[in-house]
Amino acid sequence: MKGLSAFSWLGCEHLYLDQPGTTKLDDVVIGRYGGCTDAGACKNEDGALVWRNAHQGWVFAVLLDAHAGSDSAAAVLTLIEETREDLVRDLALPVEKTFSSLQDHLLGAFSAPSFLNKCRSLEGETACLICAQKGKYLWWLSVGDCVLYLLHPELAALGQYALNQRQFFEWIGRVNTFAGSAPSFTVGMRLRGGPNHIVMLTDGVLEFGNRPFETPNVLAEVVSSHAPSYEKAVQKLLDEVHKGGGRDSATVICWGCNNTESVAYPSG
């Protein structure tokens, strides 16, 4: 597909134990850390996928945090790849059509009888956070407890950092939100004018030591102070997890968007 750059990773393939590391896909940074072995870390069940088309001006990213094995994360990544043609076509549409079409295709794929049947034979479940940014819009679909942050000074001044709230007891896999009569998930869309820093992360970035990054302005300060060098920002976050003896896997996807289009302000 012309102009498309792609990245995909499963933690079980490369654990990153004791070795926080970053990689770039064009201007999108992916950070991976499997945990501190001295604290008992011995596996990595996270996963990530990023597609980038700079010519068409969009980013599509998937972040996964599985438990009881990597089966569920692998199944979701496989499903996304199988749906790639439809999703990339959606992302090429005008923005007024992109996100509704994208949501329809993703929900249809997750609810398909063939996928639900496959999930019944899996070991474990995964949280799943999917984001698409195009133009002045950032859209997301979240199942579970991965977190999406939109870091912007106007929002920070009002105490707003995270776009979604961590939801517990909500997964895709053997126990599956899409297997019920009405699935449980969160969707939304935001972006502000000027420079925006977009951060997706698994809970290993939050749950270590004295949990400094559960205070979102602390996390925002690390990212904002290093931007636009997101590699340095993500490396700093993961180095802190390592120094704090983080046991859980920690994965971060981060990029920036300088929105020059008009945005809403109050009339008064």
Number of H helices, E strands in the chain: 7, 12
Mean pLDDT across 181-190: 95
On whether the CB atoms of residues 34 and 17 are closer than 8 A, the answer is yes
Q: Where are the domains of the chain?
A: 5-259
33: pLDDT strictly greater than 90:
yes
The pLDDT of 112-135, averaged and rounded, is 97
Q: What is the mean pLDDT of residues 76-81?
A: 98
Contact yes or no for 24/233 (Cβ under 8 A): no
3-state secondary structure of 141: strand
Q: List, in sequence order, the alpha helices (H) in 148-258.
A: 153-156, 216-226, 230-243
Classify domain 5-259 at the CATH superfamily level: PPM-type phosphatase domain (3.60.40.10)
pLDDT tens for residues 212-244? 999 999 999 999 999 999 999 999 999 999 999
pLDDT higher than 70, residue 104: yes
